[in-house]
Amino acid sequence: MSKRILTTPIKDAELESLHIGDIIYLNGYLITGRDDVHQRLIKQNKELPVDLAGLAVFHAGPIMQKIEGTEDKYRVISIGPTTSMRMEKYEKDFIPRTGVKIIVGKGGMGADTAQACKEHKAIHTVFPGGCAVLAAKCVEEVERVEWLDLGMPEAMWVMRVKEFGPLIVSIDTLGNNLFENNKKQFNLRKDLMVEDICQYVDYLG
């Protein structure tokens, strides 16, 4: 089976054909942006120095190394995903305000993000944890950095990537949420198992 590769800028129609659980890879631009970037835009109302429309944002705090002999060129040493739920309180406003199409992070996100993805044709995807060095190898070039005053992990790193992934679609453009669906299935199975076990265990005996 061939890889499903999306190239920025991403069009709505490309995302509408995706469903939760699908695996994709990304070519083009991937920009880091986590807690402080979201806070500056949403709480402090400061415009982003990078236009995210049609692009992908990565909830990540990378380790970068300045390339010797240059003033402002960097290479990625490691870039693992940050827990996306930390951005949940901002994402419903972040998505429409920036026009971002793909959010990449670790773990799931909640109902507000799912609703924003549905309304604005965006998706949330999960990059596997523990693969930070693999992720770094998918970065062809770090083109520039913005808001470095926030510190290396919180700055906006503008990267060109090739076949960045695998990315598992956890929220699709219909608002379906893979993690929430899995929780419901787990709780259903758990309740059935507990009911079965209680037939043979007497806690009061």
Write phi, then psi, for 37 (nearest 5 degrees).
-65, -45
Find out whether 94 and 87 touch, Cβ atoms under 8 Å: yes
| Catalytic site includes residue 59 | no
Pick the catalytic residue from 38, 59, 120, 124: 38
DSSP SS3 for 89: helix
SS3 (DSSP) at 33: coil
Match 């986590």 to its residue by tokens: 34
Q: Provide the token pair at 184.
A: 């419901």
26, β-bridge pairs:
6, 164
Q: Quick one: the chain helix, strand, coil %, rounded to 5?
A: 35, 30, 35
CA distances to 31, 65, 143, 145 from 158, in Å? 5, 14, 6, 6
Q: Are 132 and 104 in contact (CB under 8 A)?
A: no
Active site residues: 38
